[in-house]
Chain A
Amino acid sequence: MTDLADKPISELAELIRSRRASPVEVTSAYLANIAKYNAAVNAFVLVTEEEALRQAREAEAEIQRGDYRGPLHGIPIAHKDIYCTKGVRTTCCSRVLADHVPDRDATVVRQWREAGTVMLGKLNTHEFAYGTRNTSSSFGPARNPWDLERHTGGSSGGSASAVLLAMCAGATGSDSGGSIRMPSAATGVSGIKPTYGLGSRHGVFPLMWTMDHPGPMGRTVLDLALMLQSMAGFDPHDRTTVQRRYPNFASGIELGIKGVRIGVPTRYFYDEADEEVERVVRKAIDTLREAGAIVSEVELPHIEHAGAASAVLHLAEAAAYHDDTYRATPELFTPETRRNLELGQYILAKDYLQAQRYRSLLGQSFRDAFRTVDLLATPTITLLASKIEEETVRIRGKERSVHLSMLHNTEPLDLTGLPALSVPCGFSKSGLPIGLQLIGPPFHEARVLRAGHAYQQTVDWHLRRPPLVSKASSGKDA
């Protein structure tokens, strides 16, 4: 793996700003990694090499004449293939949109472009973001770089793999039930689902209007802060975005975690977790305690209904959005998406509204917990990444649905819209990554990021590379 592509955005930004590295050199390094690794992991579904190099040359020229735009200027990124990219095919990894070329950028794409990023291409996703493993895609499944027979988590599986293997410096993902955090945990990268309304959904194909959250994925929490900065803000094209002044997420991120009160929920998040996952996550929380955090237990009443509410909402909203295509050309969907759309036909309006009311009830539970703590800490997902074809897995002696287990710890935060970060916190004995989820009150991304950054200053899980990299590096260690 070339040295430049191995650096986080925060370091690349300084090299580019000080002209010790050119955007063209950096972009070429990432393109070389795409050529090396993508066939094995199927992260990119479209690589826009010529255009990327053109953008890199343009960035280089701008920087040389002194027009430096900020830390994302000249940084190679990629977009999940549900984000509209003007003039560049955007398929949602579905045959429904096989030849779709948008005539406009999504707001986030425009924001990152204006920040000076270089777009390398489009990334694999579970079809229409409607899944937890990125296994149902018109381009084939994304494969976990730690074990190519296993899934990446989803739906933003391509984004996660691409970041892990330094095929891009950062990527967009989206999260409606956990689709940034699930693949982050399953592949060992960092990802944040910000507060609902922080980032614009305009130009991002919806899965669920009321629970879709755009967000960044990257190697480090500091990188997430830099990427999130360019995503935050009111968008008149998306009236669910909130008019507020956002802090500089990277400013103060190094202040540490001393005195920060971390709540560990007494039930739900750990009860159904694989024992090895629980052990590794609790060890990570001990690390936070040793760094000065004050750890205590908290209760979250009513959380046991999160799965039911989430199911009712996603079935109804996705069925409503796709209704015309589902009625006209259902065969264009993958069997899994089609089945979900069929099931969505049976949700009664009164149950949909009950599920929406439940969101307020659950929000009250979290609000009450945050009266006594500053953050919550849980496993991001309750299980390790399973084999691509497996639908069930054994956890604590019980046979469980992989799909439902993947969602279990992440979907409550989509229901409540709270900011939630996943960072790698260790590995299983079998060499699979495990994620720690840190949750904050609404619009307290800076607090969440500060804690994640503090954790990453004491460990190196987020810097680990899979064996795939060693094999491709002619015998050198990654």
Chain B
Amino acid sequence: MSEPEAVGSSTLKDMAAELAGRPITPAVADEHAVVVAELMTQIRALRELPIKELPPPLAFAPEEDWA
């Protein structure tokens, strides 16, 4: 499996405008790219943790009392 490429500022600019609905300037995208680069290094380490069989501790439960 190949390593993903570094997230570039143009990607972040497109994500902000197209997915998040809140466009950002190229200068802000450049600033974010620096932070996201560091964050992605940490996220990649999280992705590699041996926790395949561990579910997230989130469970939806309907409310019991509808009265």
A343 to B56, CA, bound (A): 23
Shortest distance in angstroms between B64's beta carbon and chain A's nearest beta carbon?
10
Interchain CB contact under 8 A, B22 and A357: no
Nearest B residue to A361, CB-CB:
B51
Question: Which of these binds chain B: A44-52, A138-146, A305-313?
Answer: A305-313
Tally of A interface residues using CB under 8 Å = 28
Q: Which of A307, A354, A356, A359 contacts B47 (CB 8 A)?
A: A354
Within B14-62, which residues are at the interface with A (CB < 8 Å)?
15-16, 19-22, 24, 28, 31-32, 35-36, 39, 42-43, 45-47, 49, 51, 54-58
Given the known inter-chain contacts A346-B7, A351-B46, please indicate yes or no for A326 contacting B22, CB distance below 8 A. yes
A353 to B56, CA, bound (A): 6
Q: Which of B19, B32, B47 contacts A342 (CB 8 A)?
A: B32
Interchain CB contact under 8 A, B49 and A358: yes
Q: Which of A309, A339, A343 contacts B46 (CB 8 A)?
A: A309
Our count of residue pairs bridging A and B at CB distance below 8 angstroms stands at 77
A326 to B22, CA, bound (A): 8
Interchain CB contact under 8 A, B28 and A354: no
A351 to B21, CA, bound (A): 21
Tally of B interface residues using CB under 8 Å = 29
Interchain CB contact under 8 A, A311 and B15: no
Shortest distance in angstroms between B22's beta carbon and chain A's nearest beta carbon?
5
A357 to B28, CA, bound (A): 31
A210: which B residues are within 8 A, CB to CB? 58
A361 to B52, CA, bound (A): 11
Interchain CB contact under 8 A, B46 and A345: no
Interchain CB contact under 8 A, A308 and B43: yes
B49: which A residues are within 8 A, CB to CB? 302, 305, 354, 357-358, 361
A327 to B21, CA, bound (A): 7
Interchain CB contact under 8 A, A343 and B42: no
A302 to B51, CA, bound (A): 11
Shortest distance in angstroms between A319's beta carbon and chain B's nearest beta carbon?
8
Q: Which of A330, A342, A360 contacts B54 (CB 8 A)?
A: A360
Given the known inter-chain contacts A308-B43, A345-B16, A354-B49, please indicate yes or no for A361 contacting B22, CB distance below 8 A. no
The yes or no answer to A355 lying at the interface (CB within 8 A) is yes
A308 to B36, CA, bound (A): 12
Shortest distance in angstroms between B28's beta carbon and chain A's nearest beta carbon?
7
Give per-residue flags for A18-37: 1 if the beta carbon is below 8 A from chain B beta carbons, else 0: 00000000000000000000
Most buried by B among A326, A346, A356: A346
Nearest A residue to B52, CB-CB:
A357
Interchain CB contact under 8 A, B42 and A308: yes
Interchain CB contact under 8 A, A343 and B32: yes
Instruction: Give residues in A with beta carbon < 8 Å to B.
Output: 210, 236, 239, 302, 305, 307-309, 311-312, 326-327, 330, 339, 342-343, 345-346, 351, 353-361
Q: List 12 A-B contacts (CB under 8 A).
A: A305-B45, A327-B21, A330-B22, A343-B36, A345-B20, A345-B22, A346-B12, A351-B46, A353-B58, A354-B49, A355-B46, A356-B57
Pairs A-B, 7 closest by C-beta atoms = A308-B42, A356-B56, A345-B20, A357-B54, A357-B56, A357-B51, A353-B56
Instruction: Give residues in B with beta carbon < 8 Å to A.
Output: 7, 12, 15-16, 19-22, 24, 28, 31-32, 35-36, 39, 42-43, 45-47, 49, 51, 54-58, 63, 65
